[in-house]
Amino acid sequence: MKIVGVGVGPGMLTVEAAKAIRHAEVIYGSGRAIELAAEHICCETKHIKDYSRLHELPDNAVVLSTGDPNLSGLGKYARPGDVVIPGISSLQAACARLHIDQSGIVVITAHGRDPAPAAVKLRSAINLGFTVFLLPAYEFGVKQVAAMLLSMGIDVHIAVFERLGYQDERLEVGSVSEPPCVNSQLYCIMVGYAIV
């Protein structure tokens, strides 16, 4: 099986990923992932309904993962012998938009999981002075992050990236005391001292 990152938005597919998609015999993915790779698909596509069952797919399957498979993506389901092809992630795009070096970023995901551990990690990282890239959860988004940091007496910049890579991409920078607005469910957050 190949797990292929299709990038965070249109036009963010790598040459290696496009080649793997073009040569695939069968492709599995979400509707959004299939749409991002559509111009390179030459075979049957099937929508994934249960990601925990990827191990049941045939060995010749190409599985599409939005963004990068190893940033809160499908790379965690790779078995020994599977191939994982990276994609351009929301982290890479967000750092590029703000001119932030990725090596100083702490990455935290609350997306699709219990947000309590993410809140603990965020609190710790901000206390240590790191900039944090957060993939939010419905219950742990901008408002909850701002309220938590405000209760800690910390007022740092918060940037919201909506629909990264799409034509209607939006970036808004605010602070803990005046957090940015969120208008889309497809967003990520950068929190910290290095955002200007």
Residue numbers of the domain that contains 15: 2-88
Instruction: Report helix, strand and coil shares of the chain as percent, to nearest 5.
Output: 30, 25, 40
> Are 112 and 182 members of one domain?
yes
End-to-end Cα spacing for the chain: 42
> Are 22 and 57 members of one domain?
yes
More confident residue, 196 or 113: 113
> Are 75 and 6 members of one domain?
yes
pLDDT digits (tens, 9 = 90+) for 146-193: 999 999 999 899 999 999 999 999 999 999 999 999 999 999 999 997
Length of the chain: 196
3-state secondary structure (DSSP) of residue 47: strand
Burial of 151 (0-12, 13-18, 19+ CB in 10 A): exposed
Per the structure, the count of domains in the chain is 2
Looking at 51, 68, 88, which one is the last position of a domain? 88
Q: Is the pLDDT of residue 82 over 70?
A: yes
Is residue 6 within 8 Å of residue 87, measured between CB atoms?
Answer: yes
Looking at 88, 110, 133, which one is the last position of a domain? 88
Q: Which of 68, 35, 30 is nearest to 51 (CA)?
A: 30
Q: For position 157, what pLDDT does the model report?
A: 94
